[in-house]
Amino acid sequence: MTQQTAARKKGFRLFNYFGEIINELKKVVWLTRREIVYLTGLVLVVVIITGIVLGVLDYGFSELVSRLFVGG
C-alpha cells in the first residue's frame, strides 16, 4: 500500500467516524426546555440543602472537638 492510498483510507475513516457521530446524535431524545428548567432547579435545591446540612454538621463537629480537646 502506498502512502497516498493509506492517507486516502485514513481520511475516509475519519469522514465515516464523524458521519456516524452525526447519525447517533440524531437518535438522541433531547429534553424539552421545560424539563431542563425543572431538573436544573431540582439540582440547585438539592445542592443548597446538602450544603446547609453539611455546613451545620461541620459546625457542630468543630464545636464538639473544640470543647472536648481544647476545653473552650
pLDDT in tens, 11-59: 678 888 899 999 999 999 999 999 999 999 999 999 999 999 999 999 9
pLDDT band at 3 (very low <50, low <70, confident <90, very high): low
Task: Say if residues 51 and 44 touch (Cβ distance below 8 Å).
Answer: no
Q: Which residue has the cell 440547585?
A: 44
Question: Can you count the helices (H) and strands (E) in the chain?
Answer: 2, 0
Give me 7's grid cell: 492517507
What distance in Å separates the CA atoms of residue 2 and residue 37, rounded to the nearest whole number?
55
